[in-house]
């Protein structure tokens, strides 16, 4: 199915939350969805002369595409989203500093008496053929090419407890996790909290570093093809990911060690269940085998990812082998 957001829509009418918005369409499990997402600035930052604080309304940041109502989804189920392709919609992206936002600056929560760092915008050329992202320094002539690695910063469902959360925040419902692992070829598992799950996505990044240190990746609109599935009566307390090589858990919280603790308790319990290990045996195995890249240290909650190699799970059918099956989905590029 194709869902084509209205490119001319008034920013005030877009969706900036998980939960709290009426679904734009209904998807049956198994549906291949082809759609696109605006960049986090709603397309208003287009050159080094555009400063986010001048061209954007702070109430209208990080617009999401969706929400999509998933037929049959109920609390206690797991929504499965497999990304078939995530491709920049244009040949450019932007990044910026934002006053009092980022990990190496005072913020509204890590409140201090400093003046803000200078606000600047960087413009990136995206070479979709060579699969490169071209960085140009603002203050000198230095240029560099980095690998294109498109991903969604934001994928999530409606939160539990009747909450509605800003699209700037990650948590147990997914949301703004900002992990580079959310790329094409990855399967994302999200616990369902409300009837229909209410899946939304956005915040495309042509690439980002681990931690998203300045708070803003190489932001771009994305053409995305995904397939949704539903695991009935399988709860997923915190978002999980799977690619061909790793199973992954996420934790989003503050301080950062709590995000680590969530991701690793989830990974220990998942590995214990998959292999049939005792909790302590799984704790030991995860302690020696896990990779732990930081995802973001800038959003309202910070996110850590814990990865466990599937090579250590021989013969184990993760989530009923869904990833392998979805990976084989036929699809055309959007």
Least separation in angstroms between residue 50's CB and its own copies is 15
Closest to its own copies by CB, 71 or 119 = 119
With respect to its own copies, which residue has the nearer C-beta, 4 or 292? 292
Phi, psi (5° rounding) for residue 252? -130, 115
CB of 139 to its own copies, least distance (A): 4
- How far apart (Å, rounded) are the C-alpha atoms in residues 136 and 132? 13
Least spacing, CB of residue 98 vs its own copies, in Å: 12
Instruction: Report which of 26, 16, 21, 25 is spatially closest to residue 73, judged by C-alpha positions.
Output: 26
| Closest CB to its own copies among residues 34, 252 | 252
CA distance 244 to 82: 12
Closer residue to its own copies (CB): 109 or 328: 109
Task: Return left, alpha or beta for 137; rule: phi > 0 is left, psi -120 to 50 is alpha, else beta.
Answer: beta
Minimum distance between the CB of residue 119 and its own copies, rounded to whole angstroms? 10
- Of 16 and 229, the one with the shorter C-beta distance to its own copies is 16
State the DSSP string of 106-148.
Answer: --SSS--SPPPPPP-EEEEEEETTTTEEEEE-SSSS-EEEEE-
- CA separation for the pair 27, 42 (Å, rounded): 25
Specify burial of residue 135 (Cβ count, 10 A radius: 0-12, 13-18, 19+): middle
Instruction: Give the nearest distance from C-beta 297 to its own copies in angstroms.
Output: 5
Question: Smallest distance from the beta carbon of 291 to its own copies, in angstroms?
Answer: 5
CA distance 251 to 253: 7
Residue 196 or 211 having the CB closest to its own copies = 211
**Phi (first) and psi of residue 29, to 5 degrees:** -50, 140
């Amino acid at each position: 199915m194709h869902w084509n957001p209205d490119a001319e829509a008034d920013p005030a009418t877009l969706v900036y939350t998980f939960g709290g918005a009426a679904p734009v369409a209904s998807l049956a499990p198994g549906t291949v969805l082809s759609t696109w997402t605006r960049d986090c600035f709603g397309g208003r930052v287009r050159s080094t002369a555009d400063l986010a604080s001048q061209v954007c309304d702070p109430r209208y940041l990080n617009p999401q595409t969706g929400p999509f109502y998933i037929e049959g989804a109920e609390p206690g189920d797991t929504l499965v989203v497999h990304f078939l392709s995530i491709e920049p919609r244009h040949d450019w992206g932007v990044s910026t500093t934002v006053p009092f936002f980022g990990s190496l600056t005072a913020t509204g929560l890590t409140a201090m008496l400093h003046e803000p760092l200078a606000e600047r915008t960087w413009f990136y050329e995206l070479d979709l053929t060579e699969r490169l992202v071209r960085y140009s320094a603002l203050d000198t002539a230095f240029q560099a090419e980095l690998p294109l690695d498109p991903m969604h910063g934001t994928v999530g469902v409606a939160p539990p407890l009747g909450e509605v959360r800003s699209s700037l925040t990650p948590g147990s419902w997914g949301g703004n996790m900002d992990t580079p692992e959310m790329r094409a070829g990855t399967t994302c598992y999200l616990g369902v909290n409300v009837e229909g799950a209410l899946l939304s996505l956005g915040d495309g990044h042509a690439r980002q570093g681990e931690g998203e240190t300045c708070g803003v990746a190489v932001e771009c609109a994305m053409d995305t093809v995904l397939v949704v599935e539903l695991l009935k009566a399988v709860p997923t307390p915190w978002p999980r990911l799977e690619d061909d090589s790793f199973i992954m858990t996420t934790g989003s919280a503050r301080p950062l060690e709590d995000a680590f603790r969530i991701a690793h308790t989830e990974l220990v319990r998942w590995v214990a269940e998959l292999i049939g290990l005792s909790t302590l045996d799984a704790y030991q195995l995860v302690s020696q085998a896990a990779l732990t890249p930081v995802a973001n240290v800038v959003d309202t909650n910070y996110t850590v990812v814990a990865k466990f190699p599937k090579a250590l799970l021989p013969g184990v059918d993760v989530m009923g082998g869904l990833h392998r099956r979805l990976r084989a989905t036929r699809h055309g590029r959007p």
